[in-house]
């Protein structure tokens, strides 16, 4: 299955985005909504993902035939995908972007951003192989979920399809993505080490002389 290649998919439009995700075969449901001055419809004043997480009792999966009516019933509701056609590997955004800089030179990897997190999509049931650091989380299987654009504060860095031809990107194995994440974590650790800081300070002193 694929997405129409007639024009770029506007994932800021709920109806267009929902149909594009359904065309990929993803299992979609509606989630909570964010209401200005009232917060998330989950009623939690400290909600960590207002307007971008599943309902406690999920609604039936959406189809192309029910998409528009469902969106009209719950305007602004989050679009929630079950992690059945992919695993979601969640990392700090700085690590995700560092890994993506390298991955972009090899192959496109679907990646979305929310606040200070990056989420890289990998082959189903392989996300555990990307758990290379305590700050990496993997969601997998029918009980896992991912809020998709245009859910509140969620946007694609790299969409899951090739705009030019309308076909989905080939997902990598979690171990392949894990190698690049490990490199990013290691590079950060080196840059933050006392030795690196001392060398940087000496370099700055030399530049001022």
Domain ranges of the chain: 14-208
Is the distance from CB of 159 to CB of 166 less than 8 angstroms? Answer: no
pLDDT at 202: 45
In the chain (209 residues long), the average pLDDT of successive 10-residue segments reads 69 94 95 94 95 90 93 94 98 98 96 96 98 98 97 96 84 98 95 57 47
Q: Is 145 helix (H, G, I), strand (E, B) or coil?
A: strand
Helix-then-strand count for the chain, H and E: 5, 7
Task: Supply 82's token pair.
Answer: 């079950």
């Amino acid at each position: 299955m694929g997405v129409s290649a007639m024009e770029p998919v506007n994932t800021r439009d709920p109806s267009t985005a929902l149909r594009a995700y359904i065309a990929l075969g993803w299992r979609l449901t509606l989630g909570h909504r964010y209401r200005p001055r009232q917060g998330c419809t989950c009623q939690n004043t400290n909600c960590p993902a207002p307007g971008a997480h599943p309902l406690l009792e999920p609604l039936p999966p959406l189809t192309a035939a029910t998409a528009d009516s469902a969106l009209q019933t719950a305007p602004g509701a989050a679009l929630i995908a079950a992690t059945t056609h992919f695993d979601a590997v969640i990392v700090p955004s700085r690590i995700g972007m560092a890994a993506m800089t390298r991955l972009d030179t090899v192959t496109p990897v679907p990646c979305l951003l929310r606040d200070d997190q990056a989420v890289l999509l990998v082959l189903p049931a392989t996300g555990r192989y990307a758990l290379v650091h305590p700050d990496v989380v993997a969601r997998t299987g029918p009980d896992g979920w991912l809020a998709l654009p245009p859910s509140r504060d969620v946007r694609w860095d790299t969409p899951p399809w090739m705009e030019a031809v309308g076909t989905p990107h080939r997902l990598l194995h979690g171990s392949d993505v894990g190698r690049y994440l490990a490199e990013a974590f290691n590079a950060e650790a080196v840059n933050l080490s006392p030795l690196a800081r001392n060398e940087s300070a000496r370099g700055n002193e030399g530049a001022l002389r």
